[in-house]
Amino acid sequence: MNKKILVLCTGNSCRSQIAEGYLLYFARDKAEVFSAGVETHGVNPRAIQTMLEDGIDISHHTSNNLDDYQSISFDFVLTVCDNAKERCPYIPSQAKTFHYNFPDPAKAKGTEQEIAHEFRLVRELIKSYCQKFVEENL
């Protein structure tokens, strides 16, 4: 039976979307992966572009609210920012929870190049984290 993984962030816009993309990629058919936010901000176009640069298409992803998944019993819940961890309501399941506070690339300031660089840095952090998570837990 496939494991069910939920990735939580504040707005389900950048970090949780990138993590969902990599978890799907690394887990292949070993897991069902969902992402949600305590709010919904829409999928960030820069997150989509940054992932395409690494060969992963998340343009079809949707920005979902945690409430959308109340009926699913998750095996793992990963919070990828402190705000989501603090605001995360109780998840009624036996889910193992993991937390890592990734920097928010959507808050990057500067030129297009500087912002793109920040997105790439965060993408690589999340990629490493997701690869390690799958190796250790699935």
pLDDT in tens, 29-79: 999 999 999 889 899 999 999 999 999 999 999 999 988 998 899 999 999
Q: Which domains does the chain have, with CATH numbers?
A: 3-137 (3.40.50.2300)
Q: How many CB atoms within 10 Å of residue 50?
A: 24
- Name the residue among 101, 111, 53, 48 with its Cα closest to residue 79: 101
Predicted local confidence at residue 17, as pLDDT: 97
> What confidence tens digit (pLDDT) does each residue in 85-131 have?
777 666 656 889 999 999 999 999 999 999 999 999 999 999 999 99
HSE toward the beta carbon, residue 126, CA cutoff 13 A? 33
Give the burial class of 19: count Cβ atoms within 10 A of its Cβ; 0-12 exposed, 13-18 middle, 19 or more buried. buried
Predicted local confidence at residue 82, as pLDDT: 81
In eight-state DSSP terms, residue 17 is H
The distance in angstroms from the start CA to the end CA of the chain is 11
Q: Which of 88, 91, 116, 138 is catalytic?
A: 88
Q: Is 130 a catalytic residue?
A: no
Q: Which of 8, 9, 27, 31 is catalytic?
A: 9
Which two three-digit tokens encode residue 7?
């990735």
Q: Which of 31, 33, 78, 81 is catalytic?
A: 81
Predicted local confidence at residue 13, as pLDDT: 93
